[in-house]
Homo-oligomer: A and B are copies of this chain.
Amino acid sequence: MRDVAQAVGVSPMTVSRALRDDKTVSERTRSRVRAVAAELGYVYDTTAQAFRTQKSGFVAVTLPSVNNANFADTFRGLSEAMAGSGMQILLGATNYRLEKEEELIRQLLTRNPEALVLTGGNHTDATRSLIRARGLPVIEMWDLPPDPLGHVVGFSNADAMAALVAHLAASGRRRLAFVGASEGADLRGAERRASVVATARKLGLDEVAVIDAGPAPVSMRHGAAAVERLGARLSAFDALVCVSDTVAFGALSECRRMRIDVPGQLAITGFGHFDVAAVSDPRITTVDVSARLIGTEVARVLETVFAGASAPLEIEVAARLVPGETS
């Protein structure tokens, strides 16, 4: 910057102002500075700026995994909506584990992010106090936690799943099995499981069988393998409620291999409205959770908060039942 200043014949301060489009520099100076900077191949040092101003220009984001079309959609919505803001995203994956989330947040905080975007409302106590102590804007997404840390953009996993169960009950299904990850890791998955069990009880259906498809994240392969393991025992059920569309697709494919008629013998439902649910034949009944919209809404909240205005504490996005051909 000093070099640029010297070349233009002004002080570094003026160069600084010119490059940041401070309106107090004359148009003539600004354009000369820009030209010389480009000519000299000068690259602005955001690290130094972040240091001096104590504003990093980072928003820290944690996701369970980027390897999930839904979370990837949220990320895309968020990053596209934030593109113009001058903020950069610092992304971390928690692998669906709260301890990993804690470690990750600890690490991310050392970069002085100006806001924190977390997936879900469950965090370790240490994470909560860490964040509270920092006093920076927090947004939890993909859920509607009862005791949020700050802002919330999400939907009720329980309600969405209840709607799905009601849909199955209305079409005469009574013997449901829930296919999802093992206890523990995937908390939104656990919420969905609990909701399926509770709703079935409330509607007077048979007790729901819970089928463990393996540790989170459960994939298409897990769904297929679970159905394969069930084998003949599948006939005990008239509907498979899967924790996600990927699992549902795996289950559906395996059913086809086993010549099980879907939806004749067995209904299958997914969750998330992944592409695969809309394209597969038959189309999978699912719930559209507005993954992308969550991202753009989070971006809007951030924008508002950064502008110093106050944003609504809770934004509920729609979780809409999308009937397909598998139920």
Interface on A for B, CB 8 Å cutoff? 41, 43-48, 50-51, 56, 65-67, 69, 72-73, 75-76, 79, 88-91, 93, 107, 109-112, 130, 133-134, 219-221, 223-224, 246, 249-250, 253-254, 256-257, 275-276, 278-281
Contact A43 B276 (CB under 8 A): no
A253 near B279: Cβ-Cβ < 8 Å: yes
Residue of B nearest to A255 (CB): B281
A241 nearest CB across to chain B (Å): 19
Are B43 and A134 in contact (CB-based, < 8 A)?
yes
Please name 11 pairs of A and B residues whose Cβ atoms are closer than 8 Å in the assembled complex, sorted by A. A44-B110, A47-B111, A47-B112, A66-B66, A66-B72, A67-B72, A88-B111, A219-B275, A250-B279, A257-B281, A280-B280
Nearest chain B CB to A140 CB, angstrom units = 21
Question: Which of the listed residues A69, A219, A276 has the most CB atoms from chain B within 10 Å of its own CB?
Answer: A276
What are the 9 A-B residue pairs with the smallest beta carbon separation, nearest first?
A46-B110, A220-B279, A51-B51, A67-B72, A256-B281, A220-B275, A253-B281, A44-B110, A66-B72
CB-CB under 8 A from A223, the residues of chain B are: 279
B111 touches A46 (CB 8 A): yes
**Bound-complex Cα distance A224 to B219 (A):** 23
**Residue pair A110, B43 in contact (C-beta under 8 Å):** yes
- Docked Cα-Cα span, A121 to B1, in Å, equals 32
Known A253-B281, A257-B281, A275-B221; judge A66-B75 contact (CB<8 A): yes
Given A48-B51, A51-B48, residue A276 in contact with residue B257 (CB < 8 A): no
By a CB distance below 8 angstroms, the chain B residues around A130 are 41
A275 contacts across to B, CB distance below 8 A:
219-221, 246
**Residue from B48, B112, B278, B280 within 8 A of A45 (CB atoms):** B112
